[in-house]
Amino acid sequence: MTASIESARPTTSDREETAQRLLASSARKSYDPMVEVDWEAPIPADKFGLTPEWSTLYGTALWDEMTDEQRIELTKHEAACVSGVGLWFEILLMQMLLRDVYGRDKHSRHVQFALTEVADECRHSVMFARAGERLSMPGYGPPKIIHRLGRIWGSFFRGANAYASVMAAEEILDMMQRDFMRDERVQPVTRTVSKIHVLEEARHIRFAREEVLRRIEGAGWGRLQIERLNTAVVVYFVMKSMIRKDVYRNAGLDPQRARDEAKHNQHYKDMVRTSGSKLMQFLDSAGLVGGPTKRLYKRVHLL
């Protein structure tokens, strides 16, 4: 670890100051999705569900064969799948935050911001659910086995590994949604939902990053391996959950062919690698990338 990285690590004395700033930011700029999103607005037939370049099939032979209507339908299902995975992870995040502050001083600004974040995530969960419903999509989420593993993760992991995993999952959504919210080709409901999530998650990511650095400091070799592995496994499962075979089936495509082409889609791999570079640089600087975990990151194209 370089001296510059060490000097940048937040100390325990910084915790309250950071939390106070984040609380002030929350007071100035927070959103109520039930008010900010026009849930009654029509769904334009010519708008994509998400930025087409973020479709898992963009750039493939199958994409070239599809009509514009088929592409739009596919991206609506993919947007609903992203929202479903986001909703699932928001619920895990709320559980982790509440467990983490359970025994802490409730007068502290750190705990008060954590509770503010829980309130934000609760609104986000409802927002993601409403977005999928508004697009008339099925209730997507992670595969059953990953959903069940989430229960184990949610009740077991603590400390730096929990914050690192949550931060990484949130940044994966963030890297996609920054494109969605700016793209006028995308459905208005997707754009507004993405904008709200990106703006509020910026505070959450800052909070989590500082907690990761604070809690990982001084970790021994054994603990560091556990932290690395847990973070990499969570990122791996979140990324894998973004590509669901039933998404292709429900969009009217041959699910096996679509899955095969998505698996080998170099354009999508490059999008993930480029957009995820900031996340990976942070995890590496914190000592959370190394050894066998690199293989997991490579398998989901983040390295």
Q: pLDDT tens, position by position, for the chain (303 residues)? A: 444 444 455 555 788 999 999 999 999 999 999 999 999 999 999 999 999 999 999 999 999 999 999 999 999 999 999 999 889 988 888 888 898 888 999 999 999 999 999 999 999 999 999 999 999 999 998 888 888 888 877 666 666 667 887 788 788 888 899 999 999 999 999 999 999 999 999 999 999 999 899 888 888 899 889 889 888 988 898 888 888 889 999 999 999 999 999 999 999 999 999 988 999 999 999 999 998 999 999 999 999
Phi, psi of 42 (to 5 degrees): -65, 155
CA distances from 111 to 24, 170, 241 (A): 14, 20, 31
Q: 207 and 19 in contact (C-beta within 8 Å)? A: yes
Q: Which residues sit opposite 186 in a β-bridge? A: 48
**Residue 165: per-residue pLDDT:** 75
**16-22+45-300 — its CATH code?**
1.10.620.20
**Residue 227: per-residue pLDDT:** 86
**Residue 203: per-residue pLDDT:** 93
User: What's the token pair of residue 32?
Assistant: 């109520």
**Residue 175: per-residue pLDDT:** 87
For residue 34, the surrounding DSSP H or E stretch is helix 33-36
Q: Classify residue 66 by its DSSP letter.
A: S
**Residue 1: per-residue pLDDT:** 43
Sequence-distant (≥ 6) Cβ neighbours of residue 134 within 8 angstroms:
39, 43, 189
Q: 101 and 155 in contact (C-beta within 8 Å)? A: no
Angle ∠(298,160,31) on CA atoms, nearest 5: 90
Q: Which of 56, 81, 93 is nearest to 71 (CA)?
A: 56
Q: Is the dihedral of CA 268, 85, 212, 112 positive or negative?
A: positive
Q: What pTM value is reported for the model? A: 0.89
Q: Is the dihedral of CA 155, 205, 134, 115 positive or negative?
A: positive
Q: Which of 125, 206, 105, 120 is nearest to 163 (CA)?
A: 206
